[in-house]
């Protein structure tokens, strides 16, 4: 939140819009405070309530009584008031820190707490600092913008027994999503079966349907079914009490003895966080909740605020879906409840909203709907349309470039394959030629050897014939010589 506030302050664009501010805002950006609350505050100032005595560590008893009645109702068949332990806390994070610390000190359970995905950094840090081990369950289905109830059930089914499950009644933060009553009943059954602890946040009671009792029905079902509900109850949005933010942490126990034991534990935790909770906001809230004239008037104001939130959602949806025909699915905007909804846009598009159109969002593309009036709704819709179209163009160009690269790569691969085939064919041809040449050389060599062998054989035959001839000549010469010798010898004989 600080980072977003700093970025907004540093933004010099005259058209900049800050959609991260909490609560309902007037056109000039100030917190809207309902007339009944302004009336009570004026009366308190006139009565010098600013100098009130410090409250005890558990807070103002009348505020706690009125707050518990407002949250759980008056039907004693559904819960026992004398079984509900409660202490006053400071703001939502203060209530979560107190409740988280209480849960982390229960010896019979682990330290796991399951948060919806996505969750705000404030919730995550607060519960981690309270000593709990943060885990997540699937909640937002980014493809449809609806609750991923099947994923939620699967993840909670795997949670160890006695784990805490952070649940939002009257709209989650930062998505604005909520379960249907049928889904709540199914989830309550699952929590019972798995022996899990619902850590419930109820920040916008009355702003969903305009009827606080109807909005609180999931909480009252949990209490009626005997679940060990740990409730963090906040009045900031419905009373405009952001400067002095009273909250209540209440726990539904099963007996008066258990309540007394939990009272001591909660007060022990509170004493370690603060000694005295602030009285101002608690006195304002108790007056609104318990006064027979102010309370009905405030309920009318809540209905008007609820109608305004519904109108903002419908106008934003109509501008995107009908007037601008912005690409995408925008039905999730109308389905969200409470003070928030999400753009459901990719992070790069949300960044473009801030960097190029000077629309400063909460993390996860979340919008605080109380900041929007008619001109701002139109400006937001135009900005979303502009960045979505630009993103789609860039995406199409990137896809075209990727396709061109794929085609070029395929062509290069085909050319390389052809070259490889040609090289292989040439290599085969060269090898055949080489083998042919080798065969020819071998044949020539064999022919040469054969001719040489024939020549040697002929020479040998000639040599043999010459030797025979000479031998014959020698024999003939010898015979002639013998004949001569014989004739000579015969002459002497006569």
| Contact predicate 219/72, CB 8 Å | yes
φ and ψ at residue 89, rounded to 5 degrees: -130, -175
> Of the ranges 118-122, 272-276, 341-345, 483-487, which one carries the lowest mean pLDDT score?
483-487
pLDDT tier, 494 (very low <50, low <70, confident <90, very high otherwise): very low
| Contact predicate 88/247, CB 8 Å | yes
Are β-strands 84-90 and 246-252 bridged in parallel, bridged antiparallel, or unpaired? antiparallel
CB-facing half-sphere around the CA of 351: CA atoms within 13 A = 4
pLDDT tier, 78 (very low <50, low <70, confident <90, very high otherwise): low
pTM: 0.81
Q: Strands, E, within 68-189: which ranges?
A: 84-90, 112-117, 133-138, 164-169
Read off the tokens for 462.
């000639």
| Contact predicate 67/289, CB 8 Å | yes
294-318 helix and 35-46 helix, angle to the nearest 10 degrees: 140
Measured in whole angstroms, the distance separating CA 161 from the mean position of its chain's CA atoms is 25
Which helix H or strand E contains 453, and what residues bound it? Answer: helix 374-493
Closest CA to 166 of 210, 205, 122, 217: 122
How far apart CA 94 and CA 91 sit, in angstroms, is: 5
95-124 mean pLDDT: 92
Tell me how many degrees the CA angle 329-334-336 measures, rounded to the nearest 5: 105
454-466 mean pLDDT: 83
pLDDT tens digits for range 293-342: 999 999 999 999 999 999 999 999 999 999 999 999 899 999 999 999 99
The pLDDT of residue 51 is 59
- 279 CB contacts (<8 Å, ≥6 apart)? 49, 52, 53, 54, 55, 60
pLDDT tier, 462 (very low <50, low <70, confident <90, very high otherwise): confident
Which helix H or strand E contains 202, and what residues bound it? Answer: strand 197-202
Q: What is the DSSP track for 289-313?
A: HH-TTHHHHHHHHHHHHHHHHHHHH
Q: State the average pLDDT for the chain.
A: 91
Task: Tell which wins on pLDDT, 237 or 447.
Answer: 237
pLDDT tens digits for range 362-377: 998 999 999 998 889 9
């Amino acid at each position: 939140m600080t980072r977003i506030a700093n970025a907004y302050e540093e933004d010099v664009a005259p058209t900049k819009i800050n959609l991260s501010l909490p609560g309902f805002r007037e056109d000039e950006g100030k917190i809207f405070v309902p007339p009944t609350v302004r009336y009570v505050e004026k009366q308190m100032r006139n009565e010098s309530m600013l100098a009130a005595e410090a409250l005890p560590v558990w807070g103002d008893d009348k505020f706690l009584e009125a707050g518990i009645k407002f949250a759980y109702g008056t039907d004693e068949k559904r819960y026992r008031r004398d079984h509900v332990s409660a202490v006053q806390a400071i703001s939502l994070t203060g209530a979560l820190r107190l409740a988280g610390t209480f849960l982390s000190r229960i010896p019979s359970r682990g330290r796991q707490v399951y948060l919806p995905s996505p969750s705000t950094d404030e919730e995550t840090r607060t519960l981690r600092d309270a000593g709990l081990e943060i885990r997540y369950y699937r909640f937002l289905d980014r493809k449809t913008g609806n609750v991923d109830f099947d994923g939620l059930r699967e993840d909670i089914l795997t949670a160890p027994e006695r784990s805490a499950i952070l649940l939002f009644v009257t709209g989650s933060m930062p998505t604005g999503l909520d379960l249907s009553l049928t889904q709540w009943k199914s989830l309550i059954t699952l929590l019972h079966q798995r022996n899990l602890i619902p850590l419930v946040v109820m920040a916008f009671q009355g702003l969903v349907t305009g009827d606080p009792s109807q909005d609180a029905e999931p909480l009252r079902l949990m209490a009626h079914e005997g679940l060990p509900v740990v409730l963090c109850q906040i009045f900031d949005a419905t009373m405009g009490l952001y400067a002095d933010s009273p909250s209540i942490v209440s726990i539904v126990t099963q007996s008066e003895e258990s309540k007394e034991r939990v009272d001591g534990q909660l007060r022990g935790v509170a004493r370690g966080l603060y000694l005295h909770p602030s009285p101002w906001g608690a006195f304002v809230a108790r007056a609104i909740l318990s006064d027979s004239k102010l309370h009905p008037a405030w309920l009318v104001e809540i209905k008007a605020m609820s109608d305004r939130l519904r109108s903002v959602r419908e106008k934003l949806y109509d501008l995107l879906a009908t007037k601008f025909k912005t690409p995408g699915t925008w039905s999730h905007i109308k389905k969200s409840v409470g003070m928030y909804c999400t753009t459901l846009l990719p992070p790069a598009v949300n960044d473009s909203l801030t960097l190029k159109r000077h629309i400063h969002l909460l993390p996860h593309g979340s919008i605080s709907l109380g900041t929007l009036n008619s001109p701002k709704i139109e400006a937001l819709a135009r900005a979303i349309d502009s960045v979505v179209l630009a993103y789609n163009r860039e995406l199409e160009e990137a896809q075209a470039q990727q396709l061109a690269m794929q085609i070029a790569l395929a062509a290069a691969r085909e050319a390389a394959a052809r070259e490889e085939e040609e090289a292989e064919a040439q290599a085969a041809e060269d090898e055949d030629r080489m083998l042919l040449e080798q065969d020819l050389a071998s044949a020539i060599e064999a022919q040469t050897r054969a001719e040489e062998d024939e020549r040697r054989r002929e020479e040998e035959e000639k040599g043999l014939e010459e030797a025979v001839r000479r031998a014959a000549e020698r024999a003939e010469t010898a015979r002639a010589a013998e004949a001569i010798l014989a004739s000579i010898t015969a002459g002497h004989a006569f």
